[in-house]
């Protein structure tokens, strides 16, 4: 592309999407995420980068999702999706950060430098799929994305309001037509269709109830479940709340992140003891379950619980298929409850890999197995299946003994129900409900598999979150000097104590996690570690207080 062809890049920026702030913004775990008012020039520039990325991938489709996921409504964000429906290749994160932060005057030359650096063939066609969440700022940002695509003569296709996993799915399907149809309807046909096929073969028995209450976080996931609900033919009775009406604010006192971190039920629902409830997050890529007992005490069924439930059921099906050659493994982060890790390795006899926080790290590690189950404790995760696994299971479904064929057919539908591209609250909901139905279990049966160690998460505001550096999948703090030594001293004072700190990938805070044998001890350990972070890493605002 001759330099003259890049002039429109600067013209669009100057006239419509000028850079109005000098605040440095970095492409992190979830792409760019900050106050929506600071993002318009960033999203425009990511439209440019999406076109360059598409041309580097021989014209394959790239995705752009406008969302801030579980953050509150004033925030927004943008992330790019690679051709296989995966997160943007890590080596391009620095390129994205560079492009987002240059001045308008340097934008044209920087764009040209990047094109040359990555050796993009600008003569190729380029395709970009764009989706957005329900935030009031999303349409304006989506328009900026379209202008970025247009500026480099790419083709933009807008999907409007969709869950993040739906856009990942559509990108994957557009580049691999064997995976499905790249539309919202194609998503329903594959994932919901597989659920209905399985449910028609599974009798409802035992303690399982087909009624499920769902907290939609006043976001897009609840809206899409409201569409799906009408097609379930009684196989699952969804009672939906927090769908965005009656003044409900996105993720405010509701949704998966609120429930997981605060360990409180969301607003908007009247609870009956032992009623099974699922909470989605704002863009529909996280899910946690919970129930309240007859003493109004909350029992959490988070990403760790979902991972162990799915891994144990897939293990059962593999045994019934007589497919011992397929290696199943589970991937967690340091946030995984220690009790879950012990249960997986000692009871299920399934190998566990621990990686850094961020779905891109879990997804990559899961691909090392024939069948990889990965979940963050926050409820973000899925299952990935290798071609070898799919072909082996398909062959058993066609040629095995009758019981083997039955189990293999069930597993093939289980695979179709799974959104393998990324964690997907809707897909995961159907997977969980399938396993509970197959076992005749209620939420209490599920929870009884093992007993979580009490835990607490806190946030500490600091001058610079990047002053905290970590190693060993974020379980050891390497800077500032002396902090890890202090954490070790504090942990040693508590039975079953464990704690780690890490800079947030999505907020300007340091996150603190602690476990111990009692909730009181976990709370106290977390507060003590938070004080250490405040003192040694340049805390701002009020100093964290110890619990009374």
pLDDT at position 159 is 98
pLDDT at position 548 is 62
Where does residue 263 rank: exposed (0-12), middle (13-18), buried (19+ CB within 10 A)? middle
Is the same domain home to 490 and 473?
A: yes
pLDDT at position 245 is 78
Is the same domain home to 464 and 439?
A: no
CA–CA gap between residue 250 and residue 281 (Å, rounded): 9
pLDDT at position 546 is 76
pLDDT at position 100 is 98
Question: Parallel, antiparallel, or unpaired: how do β-strands 352-355 and 328-333 relate?
Answer: parallel
pLDDT at position 346 is 95
Is the same domain home to 68 and 149?
A: yes
Q: Is residue 56 part of a domain?
A: yes
Question: Parallel, antiparallel, or unpaired: how do β-strands 287-292 and 328-333 relate?
Answer: unpaired
Q: Is residue 174 part of a domain?
A: no
Is the same domain home to 10 and 135?
A: yes
- CA 340-346-348 angle, to 5 degrees, is 80
For residue 209, give the CATH number of its domain. 3.40.120
CA–CA gap between residue 10 and residue 104 (Å, rounded): 7
Phi, psi of 20 (to 5 degrees): -110, 5
Which residues constitute the domain of residue 496?
Answer: 455-536
The set of residues, in sequence order, having a beta carbon less than 8 Å from that of 440 and lying 6+ positions away, is: 205, 206, 207, 208
Catalytic positions = 69
Cβ 512 vs Cβ 498: under 8 Å:
no
Q: How many domains does the chain have?
A: 4
How do residues 392-424 score in pLDDT, each as one tens digit? Answer: 999 999 999 999 999 999 999 999 999 999 999
Q: Is residue 428 part of a domain?
A: yes
pLDDT at position 542 is 87
Q: Is residue 548 part of a domain?
A: no
Last residue of a domain, one of 298, 316, 342: 298
Q: Is residue 166 part of a domain?
A: no
Cβ 180 vs Cβ 186: under 8 Å:
yes
Is the same domain home to 285 and 307?
A: no
- CA 136-137-140 angle, to 5 degrees, is 120
Q: In terms of Cα–Cα distance, which of 211, 419, 444 is closest to 305?
A: 444
pLDDT at position 385 is 98
Is the same domain home to 280 and 335?
A: no
For residue 530, give the CATH number of its domain. 3.30.310.50
Q: Which two tokens stand for residue 27?
A: 């492409």
Q: Is residue 258 part of a domain?
A: yes
> Within 13 Å and on the Cβ side, how many CA atoms surround 462?
26
Cβ 397 vs Cβ 407: under 8 Å:
no
- CA 150-155-158 angle, to 5 degrees, is 95
CA–CA gap between residue 31 and residue 98 (Å, rounded): 13
Question: H/E element holding 35?
Answer: strand 32-35
Is the same domain home to 402 and 521?
A: no
How do residues 440-489 score in pLDDT, each as one tens digit? Answer: 999 999 999 999 999 999 999 999 999 999 999 999 999 999 999 999 99
Question: H/E element holding 80?
Answer: strand 75-81
Is the same domain home to 358 and 394?
A: yes
pLDDT at position 70 is 93
Q: Is residue 505 part of a domain?
A: yes
Is the same domain home to 157 and 8?
A: yes
Is the same domain home to 360 and 222?
A: no
Q: Is residue 16 part of a domain?
A: yes
Q: Which two tokens stand for residue 269?
A: 């629902």
- The pTM assigned to this predicted structure is 0.93
Is the same domain home to 477 and 389?
A: no
Is the same domain home to 194 and 256?
A: yes
**pLDDT per residue of the chain (548 residues) written in tens, 0 to 9:** 554 568 899 999 999 999 999 999 999 888 999 999 999 999 999 999 999 999 999 999 999 999 999 999 999 999 999 999 999 999 999 999 999 999 999 999 999 999 999 999 999 999 999 999 999 999 999 999 999 999 999 999 999 999 999 999 999 999 999 999 999 999 999 999 999 999 999 999 999 999 999 999 999 999 999 999 999 998 999 999 999 877 789 999 999 999 998 989 999 988 999 999 999 999 999 999 999 999 999 999 999 999 999 999 999 999 999 998 899 999 999 999 999 999 999 999 999 999 998 888 999 999 999 999 999 999 999 999 999 999 999 999 999 999 999 999 999 999 999 999 999 999 999 999 999 999 999 999 999 999 999 999 999 999 999 999 999 999 999 999 999 999 999 999 999 999 999 998 767 799 999 999 999 999 999 999 999 999 999 999 888 887 76
For residue 343, give the CATH number of its domain. 3.40.120.10
């Amino acid at each position: 592309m001759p330099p003259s062809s890049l002039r429109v890049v600067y013209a669009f920026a100057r006239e419509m999407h000028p850079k109005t702030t000098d605040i440095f913004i970095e492409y992190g775990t979830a792409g760019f995420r900050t106050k929506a008012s600071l993002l318009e020039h960033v999203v425009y520039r990511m439209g440019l980068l999406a076109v360059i990325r598409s041309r580097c991938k021989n014209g394959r489709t790239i995705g752009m999702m406008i969302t801030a996921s579980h953050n509150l409504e004033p925030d927004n964000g943008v992330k790019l999706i690679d051709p296989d429906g995966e997160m943007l290749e890590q080596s391009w994160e620095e390129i994205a950060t560079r492009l987002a932060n240059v001045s308008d005057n340097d934008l044209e030359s920087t764009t040209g430098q990047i094109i040359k650096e990555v050796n993009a063939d600008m003569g190729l066609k380029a395709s970009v799929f764009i989706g957005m969440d329900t935030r009031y700022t999303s349409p304006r940002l989506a328009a900026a994305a379209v202008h970025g695509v247009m500026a480099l003569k790419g083709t933009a296709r807008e999907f409007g309001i969709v869950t993040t996993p739906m856009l990942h799915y559509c990108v994957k399907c557009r580049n691999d037509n064997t995976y499905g149809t790249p539309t919202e309807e194609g998503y329903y046909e594959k994932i919901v269709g597989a659920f209905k096929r399985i449910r028609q073969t599974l009798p409802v028995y035992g303690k399982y109830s087909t009624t499920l209450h769902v907290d939609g976080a006043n976001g897009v996931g609840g809206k899409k479940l409201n569409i799906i609900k009408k097609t379930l033919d009684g196989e699952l009775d969804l009672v939906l709340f927090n769908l965005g009406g009656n003044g409900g604010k996105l993720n405010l006192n509701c949704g998966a992140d609120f429930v997981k971190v605060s360990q409180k039920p969301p607003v908007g629902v009247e609870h009956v003891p032992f009623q099974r409830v699922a909470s989605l997050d704002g863009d529909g890529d996280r899910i946690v379950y919970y129930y309240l007992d007859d003493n109004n005490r909350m029992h959490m069924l988070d990403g760790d619980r979902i991972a162990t439930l799915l891994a144990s059921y897939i293990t059962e099906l593999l045994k019934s298929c007589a497919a011992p050659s397929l290696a199943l493994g589970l991937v967690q982060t340091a946030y995984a409850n220690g009790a879950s890790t012990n249960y997986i390795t000692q009871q299920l006899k399934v190998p566990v890999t621990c990686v850094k926080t961020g779905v891109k790290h879990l997804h990559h590690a899961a691909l090392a197995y024939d069948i990889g189950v990965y979940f963050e404790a926050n409820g973000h995760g899925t299952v990935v299946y290798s071609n070898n696994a799919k072909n082996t299971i398909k062959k058993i479904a066609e040629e095995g003994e009758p019981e083997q064929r039955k189990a293999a057919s069930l597993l093939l539908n289980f695979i179709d129900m799974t959104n393998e591209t990324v964690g997907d609250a809707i897909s995961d909901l159907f997977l969980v409900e399938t396993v509970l139905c197959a076992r005749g279990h209620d939420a209490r049966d599920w929870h009884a598999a093992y007993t979580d160690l009490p835990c607490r998460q806190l946030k500490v505001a600091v001058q610079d979150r990047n002053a905290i550096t970590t190693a060993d999948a974020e379980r050891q703090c390497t800077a500032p000097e002396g902090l890890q030594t202090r954490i070790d001293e504090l942990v040693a004072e508590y039975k079953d104590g464990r704690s780690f700190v890490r800079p947030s990938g999505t907020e300007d805070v340091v996150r603190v996690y602690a476990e111990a044998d009692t909730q009181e001890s976990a709370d106290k350990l977390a507060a003590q570690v938070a004080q250490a972070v405040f003192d040694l890493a340049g805390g701002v605002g009020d100093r964290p207080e110890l619990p009374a």
